[in-house]
Structures are given as C-alpha cells and as structure tokens.
C-alpha cells in the first residue's frame, strides 16, 4: 500500500449515520470540544508554525460562531475524537477576532506543508463549502434550497419538486506516459516558463476512465497509449475534482506533438529532470507522485533529494 496522496487517507471518521440525528448534531454544536473549520473566500484558515503550517481549527464556541448560522454549517465527522464542522465565513474582509498566528490561505499552495491529516480535513471542508455555495438553488426547478442532513444535502423548497441535491465530484484523469526511459510531459502557454506537467483532463459523459486517458493523451500529444494502469487518486477540491492517476506506455516510436491546448509536449529523460528543466508540479500533487515513482524506479538518488530539482505550482482547472 503506497502512502496516501496529500488530501487523501483515513484522516476522519465521517459518522455518516449521525447526519440525520438532529439531537446529536445540536449537542455537538454546543460541545466545547467540537471544532470549526472556517473557509473564507475559498481560502482555508491556517496557523503559522515554525516549520510550515497547521490547520487553523477553532473551538465551536469561538466568537466567530456567533456570525455563522447553523444552516451554513456542515458536520464533517470526528477528527482526533472531536466533532468538526465546516463553516463558510461571509464578508468582503477576513473576520475579526481570529488568533494572531492565523490567516486565510490558498490550500492549493499550502496543502503540502500542513500535517497530512489536517490537510485532508481542510480539503474536505473546502469542497463542502464550495459545493453548497453553488447549489443554493435547485437545478431542476430553480427554487431556493435549504440545508439538510447536517449540511450534506441541499433540499429544494418547492413542494412540487422537493429534489435532494448531493455533493458532486468531477472526475479527472491524470496520466504519466512513458516509453520506459523517458516521460511525456506538456506545458500550456499560460504557465510560468519552464513548467511542464503530466497530461490531465476531465472524464466526459459516455467514457470510462481508461477511455479518457487514451483520448486525452492522443488529443493533447498525438501519442497512442498501449497499456493503462491505475496508480492512485487524490481529492482535489479546486473546486470539486477527484484526480484519478494512471501510468501508461506509449506505442513504439511515438512522436509527441502539441495541440491547441498545449504549447509543447515532449519526452524528458531522468537526466533532464535532475538538471532542473522541466520544472515540475508541487509534491502535493498526484502529478508529482506519478513522475516521482517513475523517476525513482530508475535513478540512484530519489527525486525529492535531487539537488537540481525545480518545482512550480500545482495543476489547476
């Protein structure tokens, strides 16, 4: 079993069977041991630590709670034995009264520097808050929705409709194509200079994950893949993806070419990567993990310990 990707792992007991237990949820909200996981403007509350960051978790009775109605809370589950609630914090400015050593930060950039279980909790909270924000009206009839099941359902208020809306995920494939000795990486024109990454794209209706891998690689690089193998997956709440990572083998003598989406697509050797070109995605991404596993399978020094390694920000939609 490989180490879970950042934002993944058994970091939380979701207590899904208690979401409809209104008395449990009400008691948990009053419990001084319960915790709030605040999200403001899509940013997560973090606490500065000497060596990085930790999650900025607040007591459920923190003064911030007075400005948040129960309706906008989501019971995430038990984290380290304490019930946690995601809380969307409204307003143009960050709320007052927060501890001095905390601030709201972009989890995409900081997630890899937070303890693993806390990174998972923050990602889950972010995903739920963003999903709810996008589902304040019913997609079927347009009526307003209300929160139900401790925040995990948005229920249509139109009696004639009454549809329940559940959190949704957008699956995306991400794939490292190799010919054994070389890795196929591409770059978009808008990316910072020198940055390359693995091929990625959203799964479309009517195709399997494997179909999506073959299509995306062919569309973006002109390369036909032979074998497609599952590697690992990663929650990617920016805003609502599940990244499903694969490795694939290119057909012999495949010559990459870029399409409209990519500015360049080419083969890189381990020596290229060790020299600092290309610059790779952040280690928090499954893209980096895919490259790392391939690299380490044929290098004497692990990728993370390679002195010339250069990194850039993580992939985004």
CB of 29 to Zn ion, least distance (A): 28
Instruction: Scan residues 115-144 and list those touching Zn ion (CB under 5 A).
Output: 138, 140-141, 143
- Taking CB under 5 A as the criterion, the residue among 37, 127, 156, 177 binding Zn ion is 156
Question: In whole angstroms, how close is the CB of 19 to Zn ion at the nearest point?
Answer: 21
Instruction: Determine the Cα–Cα distance for residues 48 and 52; give it in Å rounded to an integer.
Output: 6
- Least separation in angstroms between CB 154 and Zn ion: 10
* Contact status: 58 vs Zn ion (CB under 5 A): no
Compute the distance between CA of residue 226 and CA of residue 218 in angstroms, rounded to an integer. 11
163 binds Zn ion (CB under 5 A): yes
Query: Contact between 146 and Zn ion (CB under 5 A)?
Result: no
Contact positions with Zn ion (CB under 5 A) in 186-205: none
| 161 contributes a contact to Zn ion by CB under 5 A | yes
Count the site residues for Zn ion by CB under 5 A.
8
Name the one range near Zn ion by CB under 5 A: 27-35, 149-157, 195-203, 303-311.
149-157
Closest distance of CB 164 from Zn ion, Å: 10
Q: Which stretch binds Zn ion (CB under 5 A): 67-75, 102-110, 121-129, 154-162?
A: 154-162
Query: Between the CA of residue 296 and those of 112, 177, 217, 223, 276, what are the distances in Å?
Result: 20, 15, 23, 24, 16
Site for Zn ion, rule CB under 5 A: 138, 140-141, 143, 156, 158, 161, 163
């Amino acid at each position: 079993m490989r180490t879970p990707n950042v934002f993944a792992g058994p970091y939380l007991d979701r207590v899904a069977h208690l979401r409809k237990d209104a008395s449990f949820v009400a008691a948990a909200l009053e419990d001084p041991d319960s915790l709030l996981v605040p999200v403001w403007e899509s940013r997560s509350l973090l606490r500065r630590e000497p060596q990085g960051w930790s999650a900025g978790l607040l007591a459920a009775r923190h003064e911030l709670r007075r400005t948040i109605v129960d309706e906008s809370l989501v019971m995430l589950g038990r984290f380290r034995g304490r019930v946690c609630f995601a809380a969307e914090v409204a307003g143009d400015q960050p709320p007052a009264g927060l501890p001095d050593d905390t601030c709201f930060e972009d989890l995409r950039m900081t997630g890899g520097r937070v303890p693993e279980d806390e990174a998972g909790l923050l990602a889950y909270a972010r995903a739920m808050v963003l999903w709810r924000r996008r589902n304040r009206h019913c997609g079927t009839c347009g009526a307003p929705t209300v929160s139900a099941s401790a925040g995990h359902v948005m229920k249509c208020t139109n009696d004639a409709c009454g549809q329940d809306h559940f959190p949704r995920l957008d699956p995306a494939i991400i794939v490292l194509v190799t010919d054994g000795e070389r890795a196929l990486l591409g770059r978009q024109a808008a990316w910072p200079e020198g940055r390359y990454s693995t091929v990625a794209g959203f799964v479309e209706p009517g195709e399997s994950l494997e179909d999506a891998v073959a299509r995306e690689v062919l569309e973006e690089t002109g390369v036909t893949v032979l074998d497609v193998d599952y590697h690992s997956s990663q929650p990617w709440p920016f805003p609502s993806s599940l990244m499903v990572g694969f490795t694939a083998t290119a057909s012999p003598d495949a010559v990459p070419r870029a399409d409209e989406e990519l500015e360049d697509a080419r083969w890189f050797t381990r020596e290229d990567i060790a020299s600092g070109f290309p610059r790779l995605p952040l280690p928090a991404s499954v893209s980096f993990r895919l490259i790392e596993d391939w690299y380490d399978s044929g290098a004497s020094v692990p990728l993370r310990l390679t002195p010339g390694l250069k990194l850039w920000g993580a992939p985004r939609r």
